[in-house]
Amino acid sequence: MSPVALGLALVLLLVPAEDEEGGGGGDATELTSGALRIGEGAVPAQYAGIIEKAAADCDAGLPAAVLAAQLMQESGFNPRAGSPAGAQGIAQFIPATWAVEGFDANGDGKASVWDPEDAIPSQGRMMCKLVKTAKKHSDYNGSSIELALAGYNAGWGRVDQYRGVPPKSFAGGETYNYVKIIMGNVAKLSAPDGPTSTSGWTLPVKATLGTPYHQAGPMWSSGYHTGIDFAVPVGTPIKAAGPGTVLSAGPGGPYGNQVIIKHGDGMYSQYAHLSSLKVSKGQKLKGGDLIGLSGATGNVSGPHLHMEVRTGPAYGSDVDPVAYLRRHGVGI
């Protein structure tokens, strides 16, 4: 939780960037409400539906689990939380920002920062604006979700200043760690579509790793590499990394022929530049099932498999694929 930093952040969002100073219990019950895991240590049942609706109301691609992980970090889901900086409520708005961003979401005639039915939709709407802003800055360091979280915590001016998520040297690592912790908790708060375990997971292909995750470079529209590459020749069999359901299989613009799989923990894996597809939308898969053959379709300099792991199905919600696979027991 970072109430002081958030209080400062929300003030900074209201002033121009050039005015800023620089600076280097028990297991969760397996009950689900859409995309969220409900229970002790996860999302309180009374807030799950509100969070999911707030996410669904955003047309920019904002996963419910991101909002939930943010609330967990901000207040521990405590609607009466406060901070020395004056941040209030479950989403830790300060009064000046609440006056701008808060609204009467439940229609009871009063916009209350202490009412989760108002505060959570206001948080969602503010985050949605930040995600839309982030998507205009594909050259910044970080995914659109990471940039939005950094903007919520440190103010968008700081994101502009550092052209991405502020580094560890800024504010004692407050914002850097804020983003890292929230992104790390997304999977924990995502509801499984079915039983999940570390068994049934594998590498999509046994091959030498090429370009790593987050390598910077002008050849990528985001300014960095959003996945990992496996150096394989055209026609190499590619497997599903884990069990799940095929969300899409077909042309993916710069990604060429691609397959996107939704996994039981609410995360998504993407396999790009394929020469041929062996699965179709809606197909249920086990880890290790054949999904296609490697190729060089889309924007490539040579044949390889590009793999991403995402918190949502769309571009800009990527997380570290190596760390994700390792959490599922895959040696990489």
Residues 167 and 237 in one domain: no
Residues 47 and 11 in one domain: yes
pLDDT tens digit sequence for 187-202: 788 765 544 445 689 9
Residue 202 maps to a domain: no
Residues 154 and 246 in one domain: no
Fill in the amino acid letter for 119. A
Please state the pTM of the whole predicted model: 0.60
Residue partners of 237: CB distance under 8 A and separation at least 6:
205, 290, 293, 294
Residues 182 and 228 in one domain: no
Residue whose pair of structure tokens reads 């479950």 in the numeric block? 90
pLDDT tens digit sequence for 199-247: 689 999 988 888 888 788 777 766 778 899 999 999 999 999 999 999 9
What are the angstrom distances between the C-alpha of 19 and each of 14, 137, 313? Answer: 11, 21, 37
Q: Are 33 and 52 in contact (CB under 8 A)?
A: yes
Residues 165 and 128 in one domain: yes
- The CATH code of the domain that includes 63 is 1.10.530.10
Residues 58 and 174 in one domain: yes
Which range is least confidently modeled, 17-21, 158-162, 241-245? 17-21
Percentage above 70 pLDDT, the chain: 86
Residue 179 maps to a domain: yes
More confidently predicted of 12 and 118: 118
Residues 278 and 171 in one domain: no
Residue 248 maps to a domain: yes
Give the integer Cα–Cα distance in Å for 315 and 224. 13
Q: Which domain holds residue 103?
A: 3-189
Residue partners of 197: CB distance under 8 A and separation at least 6:
none
- Is 21 a residue whose pLDDT tops 70? no
